[in-house]
Amino acid sequence: MDKDQAIRKAQKLMAVAMDSRGNENEAERALAQAEALIRKFGIEQAEIASTEAAASFDWADAFHAYGPPKNPAKSCPKWFQIISTGVATFTDTIVRLHYDATLGYGVGFYGDRADILFAQWLVGYLKGRVWDALNSAHRQHPEWRRSDMEDFRKAMAARLSSRMKDLRRERDIEFAAPLQHGTGTALMLVTDKLTKRDAEFGAPKYKNSRIVVRDQLAAHKGALAGDQIGFAKPIQ
């Protein structure tokens, strides 16, 4: 490993260490590995912050089917699209609707491999939590019709997506602070990654559509359920 390779690896490790979405032990290990590389190769803090050195990314894509393998989905519901867009924003990825002849409708994530792996896991996790919350709410309100349950899902999805976008903005504010002993910022590295991501896959184009609900009680309970879900990255 030469110095340029060490710089790129140290930058990725520092990004993991500073990512508030990650596991605490994972962050500590990444920071220790980055510091070891910095000492071994005599890397300056300014070199870690340089956007020019962060030119190497492992671009990839991943498909997440909405339905189970034995029952491919014939469409992607609005609430799942809302969650998928929030996940993409939260994970620095791009998401697009896709259709697979075998797996049916779903979404594809594009970006750095580590980011899309997290996005693919997170969208599946949140999809399951929405169904769990809906089943629990339906037991309390057996009178709900299909439209009421859809209002619950849309409101919960909107709340989850809003929370993820808020967390992303909070992260960017933290990343905008100058790195210790250097003039660069972690946000410079993220911005550079997103610029290169868009050059690789094309800039994301998301439509802002108004969510219409009929049952305010179902929507209110869905929004409350969205506040109960965490976004911790799994250790593995």
Rounded CA Rg of the chain: 20
Q: What 3-state class would DSSP assign to 188? A: helix
The answer, yes or no, to whether residue 27 has pLDDT greater than 70, is no
- Residue 171 CA to residue 178 CA, distance in Å, equals 14
The alpha-helical segments, DSSP class H, found in 141-215 are 146-175, 186-201
Do residues 72 and 65 make contact, with C-beta atoms less than 8 angstroms apart? yes
Q: What 3-state class would DSSP assign to 201? A: helix
Name 161's Cβ contacts closer than 8 Å, sequence gap at least 6.
Answer: 82, 83, 85, 86, 89
Half-sphere exposure of 204 (CA within 13 A, CB side): 21
User: Residue 91: what pLDDT?
Assistant: 92
User: Considering all CA atoms of the chain, what is the largest pairwise distance in Å, rounded to the nearest integer?
Assistant: 68
The answer, yes or no, to whether residue 209 has pLDDT greater than 90, is no
Q: What is the mean pLDDT of residues 198-217?
A: 85
Give the other-Cβ count within 10 Å of 17's Cβ.
19
**Residue 45's pLDDT band (cuts 50, 70, 90):** low
**Residue 56's pLDDT band (cuts 50, 70, 90):** low
- In tens, the pLDDT along 83-131 reads 999 999 999 999 999 998 888 999 999 999 889 988 999 999 999 999 9
Q: What spatial distance separates the first Cα and last Cα of the chain, rounded to whole Å?
A: 26
Bridge partners (DSSP) listed for residue 64: 107
